[in-house]
């Protein structure tokens, strides 16, 4: 019997782990930003992520972050997530940009300060690789690494339109506050998700 499986159905992407000690001009970071820009552009729904020279998602948080990158058998990026120490990105934290009040409430509730927290973000999977548990894999791997690196808590802003927030809930995290926030640039309602990792 001939299988009707698609060519990528039985393939497992390779995990590429990058530490924060990176160069802003490294080729891999350019490739990553291009991949993220293409996914975030979403067929034109988010026009800010396409420029005349191509797709791009430039973000200063990248240089302070650990990056987990999934690559296919041709070395093309098919998924990613990043996490950064809150005390190093305090002024550009996405959670704080969404709601300073909510961020302060979460830190108080979990008895944490900035040095205890990693901020997770940019969890993206190429459409043809979705629904295979890769988001769960990236999130849980990031949490495990955060635990090994000595932090107590991870938090992040995740979209609700494509159920990114529900992926975080599946690996045992919770909503930091019981409301969503509108981000016009992303054409999405987002939740703040929180997970204790120690």
The residue-averaged pLDDT of 115-141 equals 93
Q: What is the mean pLDDT of residues 134-152?
A: 92
> What digits encode the pLDDT tens for the residues 7-41?
455 578 999 999 987 666 688 999 999 999 999 99
Helix, strand or coil for residue 85? Answer: strand
In this prediction, residue 3 has a pLDDT band, given cuts at 50, 70 and 90, of very low
Distance in angstroms (rounded) separating the CA atoms of residues 85 and 1: 52
**Chain-centre distance of CA 70, in angstroms?**
12
For position 10, what pLDDT does the model report? Answer: 53
Q: Please classify residue 6 by burial: count the beta carbons closer than 10 Å to its beta carbon, then call 0-12 exposed, 13-18 middle and 19+ buried.
A: exposed
Among 147, 4, 136, residue whose Cα is nearest residue 70: 136
DSSP state of 79: E
Cβ 190 vs Cβ 155: under 8 Å = no
Q: What is the pLDDT of residue 1?
A: 38
Q: Does domain 14-196 have CATH number 3.90.1150.10?
A: no
Q: What is the average per-residue pLDDT within 166-188?
A: 91
Over residues 42-94, the pLDDT tens digits come to 888 899 899 988 999 999 899 999 999 999 999 999 999 999 999 999 999 99
132-142 mean pLDDT: 91
pLDDT (0 to 100) of residue 168? 86
pLDDT the model gives residue 124: 94
Kindly give the residue spans of alpha helices, DSSP state H, lying in the chain: 27-41, 94-98, 100-109, 134-148, 164-170
Q: What percent of the chain has pLDDT over 90?
A: 73
The DSSP output letter for 117 is E
Query: In angstroms, rounded to a whole number, what is the distance separating the alpha carbons of residues 114 and 40?
Result: 28
3-class state of residue 112 by DSSP? coil
Domain ranges within the chain, ordered by starting residue: 14-196
How many whole angstroms separate alpha carbon 158 and alpha carbon 125?
13
Is residue 2 predicted with pLDDT exceeding 50? no
């Amino acid at each position: 019997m001939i299988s009707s499986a698609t060519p990528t159905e039985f393939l497992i992407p390779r995990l590429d782990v990058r530490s924060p000690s990176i160069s802003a001009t490294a080729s891999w970071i350019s490739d990553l930003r291009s991949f993220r820009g293409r996914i975030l552009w979403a067929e034109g729904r988010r026009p800010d992520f396409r420029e005349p020279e191509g797709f791009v998602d430039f973000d200063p948080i990248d240089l302070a972050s650990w990056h987990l990158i999934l690559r296919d058998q041709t070395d093309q990026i098919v998924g990613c997530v990043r996490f950064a120490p809150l005390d190093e990105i305090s002024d550009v934290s996405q959670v704080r940009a969404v709601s300073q009040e909510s961020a302060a409430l979460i830190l108080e509730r979990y008895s944490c300060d900035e040095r205890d927290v990693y901020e997770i973000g940019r969890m993206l999977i190429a459409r043809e690789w979705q629904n295979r548990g890769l988001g769960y894999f990236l999130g849980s791997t990031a949490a495990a690494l955060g635990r090994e690196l000595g932090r107590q808590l991870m938090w992040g802003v995740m979209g609700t339109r494509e159920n990114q927030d529900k992926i975080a809930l599946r690996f045992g995290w919770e909503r930091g506050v019981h409301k969503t926030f509108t981000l016009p640039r992303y054409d999405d309602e987002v939740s703040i998700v929180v997970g204790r990792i120690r």
